[in-house]
Structure 1
Amino acid sequence: MKLDSIDRKLLALLQADAETQVAELAAQVGLSATPCWRRIQRLKEAGVIKRQVALVDRDKVNVGVTVFVAVRTSTHSQEWFERFRAAVGAIDEVVEFYRMSGEVDYLLRVVVPDIAAYDKVYKRLIADTQLLDVSSSFAMEELKFTTALPLSYIR
């Protein structure tokens, strides 16, 4: 799907606030409401807009501590991976999970209220799979957090 400058503007506006009314979006991108709505629907149908969610304040729901967990393993079979992925997927506190290149095999971002809660997550993580090394780093201060993706790379 080819995205033009209006699509880019719409995406930027929707990433800032997905609840913005179509009429307001249309005015900001120079369209009337119906063509603007159609563009948004086209972006959704094409999978450019995957879903719309509410961003919840972590402190207000008592998960203000962020932990980055680096995992190394000596096992790389598909069976092991499927078991590990299922174990991580069952832990709600893990909000991001990546397979990495380099010295670390997997990186997880975990949100919890405190160190004791993280210890429970850690014990669940190591209970179901064989891991070589688990290294945890607690974020001291959040300096930047955004869900908005850069749009300058759109072709």
Structure 2
Amino acid sequence: MNIIFLIKPKCDTAFLYTDDSIRQGLEKIHYHKYTAIPVIDHEGIYHGTITEGDFLWHILGRDVQGASLSCDIRTTEHELVTNLLRPMFNPPVNIYATMDDLLQRVMDQNFVPVVDDRGVFVGIITRKDVIGYFVGLNKPVDPAE
């Protein structure tokens, strides 16, 4: 079964650009009440996902592994969100992925980014939508309907 019917398209998804500042990222993630947000470049290529924890650890002066960094909250106006991206965190699935592939991914992630064959971000699929699909698929059929 094709996953395309579950995609929340890019036009309906909040995302950051690689050249957005950390402050812009914080404002957008706060405005949309997200815990994580995709990052793309201006050509639409998916680069990764940043979490609110990534922002927090950076502002507290630590990277994700706990190493000390020098951070002044005022510098977030000029630092780019790409500096916070973690390699291989929340990798995307191809638009032709199977439902089984998707199920494996949402067990570990709130959403799965979806890209086309060129790596261009086309949208996300949320854990809620995948669970809803499988719950609906396994519902008993009422013979009276």
Q: TM-score, normalised by structure 1?
A: 0.22
- Compare the two structures and name the one with the higher helix fraction: 1
Determine which structure has more spread, i.e. the larger CA radius of gyration. 1
